[in-house]
Chain A
């Protein structure tokens, strides 16, 4: 078993019992989409706020594995190594 820590941004903590960090146990190294699905199963309010119904990452939501933006490292197929922190981060945007 290995642990993955997710950093949850403020606006989404309403759906993680106010936790800024959520730890998940997974059996083996896996891709980002698979671990996100485990996260969404535990905290269902996150799913539709991070991904569109078509399954792609929302345009202005970035996901970092350690310090790397997954848009440049394989997107949802990025392999998540053991012990790493995954951060969901709203992009700079607005109007």
Chain B
């Protein structure tokens, strides 16, 4: 056949062979694309009948679903009957299975997609009838594609009895099918949607355990196991939730099975929510991973890509662009409906870990992480951050996640409400309350601001590991010189508008502080009214609000390379927290606050009553630097020339609460120490974290 032309399809190469016929890669000369062309074997045609096959194939071609291989055309010549399908580059699930099975999260992800494909087809009256490992393809992106819907031929009773009574070794061309056949089908009933669900159960079992549930050396033995024996016990590594789904699919009594594929999908999705985590080493080598939240495309992130982390009051979004920063892919919302106040990226030690704090009005606040750019997230059983019982406090919100210094790769900090600092020394695995600050004698007199009494900003001094600054609303700036044992209020010169005493020791409603690593003694501060600079580590502050339309604002950003350059987004007042005159303008100083210039090219200058919250501005570290900010109205703007020109990257997001930007270094060339060693230890740590976070 190779080189021949069938209709307008030029046969290029043979890519597979099954019971029904041979599959070729072919070129569609009309549409100039490659397709898969299945040429049905003569025997198939004779057995099933041309008209019947044509009807079934036409019905199957009506299916349109992301997890079902699309049938483009059904055709026949005087000699041949063929089906033209989407060409899928990938591996059959059957070939991905190994003796240990796939990771549980992978099994669940694939299972959700297969169940969704079945649900779609069943709703349209189409039964697969031959679901098995060789009919499920996994693309390079990790998407499942189920092949051959409705194309499987019906076996007649004679064929079944020949197969099942066969004492010879399993060599028939139908052997691929027998282990997936439901008891009722073996008894001669017509395959239907419930027998598809049985086959799905066999497939899930096989994927999870690395072996089949019903085994035997001959067709007879396999058949009798399917009809009479319970499935072999699943290995202990299979979590109970997944095992329960598999067992219910494999109920010999049809009435005890799930009755609809959508029920299987929902059951598997709920396991996904619990993020059953792989304990298998080297999973990546075996197959790609995508967490399939329904309808969600995940990002594929490459070396030197720019990644934006965008937290909103309804979930998190991730955006990716190549380093030209011209076009952005958007993924999300992750954590649908929950408020994401804080996001962070930890690229230390060769990791690529995203951190997110999720806040549900109902179920509380949790820290989650993903090591694969959002495909899998942890879903901890226990809250990661807890106030000790003697404190009498309980966690309301995590406002800030701060990745520690590069020299302390295991160190992370969280700023929370009620105002407190938590720290982790083991890469986020365990957290403890920083008592020195929590027990500060000023605490009883700290006053909650509009957003509650929150510690929202954490600034470790890059030059001295014992020194760190925090900002609390409304308490002001506090500094430690002894790794957090003691803290001093550092607010001298910062004005308080809402108290009779205008320059108290503490009680300031600070909104943001920033510093540049090359000038660690100098800080900039955006206050609730007031812009300030300190040249002496916060010991005293001077007003730098010259040339801004308002010194009220929330967001403040340090330029990544220029220590004299700071960005702010002034808003009109504490009563009218929107941009002055309805003009969206970023202000920049390039002389450390000596003067400020508006940056508005490309930003709306009429009717734009916007608010940019304190963490909703970020910069990448490219040169020229990219600046990004998000508004409460859900618009995300970006500039790839340090603010001279702006473009709207995306509109219509929920209220944007935080934005973070990072340039991805997949090579890990920035990581300290020998690369291989660093990576290995990072990986070990990751799996420990996940195991602990999800222990069931």
Which of A's residues lie within 8 Å of B, judged by CB?
11-15, 17-18, 44-45, 47-49, 52-56, 58, 60-61, 90-91, 93-95
Max count, chain A CB within 10 A of own CB: residue among B245, B274, B364: B364
Verify A54–B392 contact, CB threshold 8 A.
yes
| Smallest CB gap from B695: residue in A | A44
Cα–Cα distance between A18 and B641 once the two chains are bound (Å) = 50
Task: Chain B residues near A49: list those with CB within 8 A.
Answer: 362-364
Verify A14–B379 contact, CB threshold 8 A.
yes
Task: Chain A residues near B244: list those with CB within 8 A.
Answer: 17-18
B394 at the interface (CB under 8 A from A): yes
Task: Chain A residues near B392: list those with CB within 8 A.
Answer: 54
| Smallest CB gap from A54: residue in B | B394
Task: Chain A residues near B379: list those with CB within 8 A.
Answer: 14
Verify A91–B362 contact, CB threshold 8 A.
yes
Cα–Cα distance between A90 and B338 once the two chains are bound (Å) = 14
Task: Chain A residues near B313: list those with CB within 8 A.
Answer: 95
B381 interface neighbour in A15, A53, A60, Cβ under 8 Å: A15
Task: Chain A residues near B395: list those with CB within 8 A.
Answer: 52-53
Cα–Cα distance between A61 and B244 once the two chains are bound (Å) = 28
A47 interface neighbour in B270, B274, B362, B382, Cβ under 8 Å: B382
> What's the least CB distance linking A56 to chain B, in Å?
7
Verify A54–B240 contact, CB threshold 8 A.
no
Verify A12–B363 contact, CB threshold 8 A.
yes
Verify B363–A58 contact, CB threshold 8 A.
yes
13 further A-B contacts with Cβ under 8 Å, apart from A49-B363, A93-B362, A95-B361, are A17-B240, A45-B381, A45-B382, A47-B382, A48-B381, A52-B394, A54-B387, A54-B393, A58-B362, A58-B363, A60-B362, A90-B362, A93-B361
Binary interface encoding of chain B residues 264-293 relative to chain A, with 1 for a CB under 8 A from any of its CBs, else 0? 000100110110000000000000000000
Task: Chain A residues near B361: list those with CB within 8 A.
Answer: 60, 93-95
Verify B362–A18 contact, CB threshold 8 A.
no
Cα–Cα distance between A88 and B392 once the two chains are bound (Å) = 25
Cα–Cα distance between A30 and B51 once the two chains are bound (Å) = 69
Cα–Cα distance between A56 and B267 once the two chains are bound (Å) = 31
Cα–Cα distance between A48 and B379 once the two chains are bound (Å) = 12
Cα–Cα distance between A94 and B270 once the two chains are bound (Å) = 22
Interface extent on B, as a size class? Answer: 20 to 34
> What's the least CB distance linking A17 to chain B, in Å?
4
Cα–Cα distance between A44 and B393 once the two chains are bound (Å) = 21
Cα–Cα distance between A15 and B271 once the two chains are bound (Å) = 8
Total contacts A to B, CB within 8 angstroms? 65
| Smallest CB gap from A46: residue in B | B381
| Smallest CB gap from A94: residue in B | B361
Task: Chain B residues near A13: list those with CB within 8 A.
Answer: 270
Cα–Cα distance between A56 and B386 once the two chains are bound (Å) = 13
> What's the least CB distance linking A55 to chain B, in Å?
8
Task: Chain A residues near B240: list those with CB within 8 A.
Answer: 17
Verify A52–B364 contact, CB threshold 8 A.
yes
Cα–Cα distance between A13 and B395 once the two chains are bound (Å) = 23
B383 at the interface (CB under 8 A from A): yes
> What's the least CB distance linking B263 to chain A, in Å?
10
Verify B389–A18 contact, CB threshold 8 A.
no
B49 at the interface (CB under 8 A from A): no
Task: Chain A residues near B386: list those with CB within 8 A.
Answer: 48, 53
Verify B381–A54 contact, CB threshold 8 A.
no
> What's the least CB distance linking B634 to chain A, in Å?
15
Cα–Cα distance between A17 and B271 once the two chains are bound (Å) = 7
B267 interface neighbour in A12, A18, A52, A53, Cβ under 8 Å: A18
Task: Chain A residues near B18: list those with CB within 8 A.
Answer: none
Binary interface encoding of chain B residues 152-187 relative to chain A, with 1 for a CB under 8 A from any of its CBs, else 0? 000000000000000000000000000000000000
13 CB contacts below 8 A, A to B, read A11-B363, A12-B363, A14-B273, A17-B241, A48-B364, A48-B381, A52-B394, A53-B387, A53-B395, A54-B393, A91-B362, A93-B362, A95-B361
Verify B364–A58 contact, CB threshold 8 A.
yes
Cα–Cα distance between A52 and B386 once the two chains are bound (Å) = 9
Cα–Cα distance between A47 and B271 once the two chains are bound (Å) = 18
Task: Chain A residues near B387: list those with CB within 8 A.
Answer: 53-54
Verify B381–A14 contact, CB threshold 8 A.
no
> What's the least CB distance linking B284 to chain A, in Å?
25
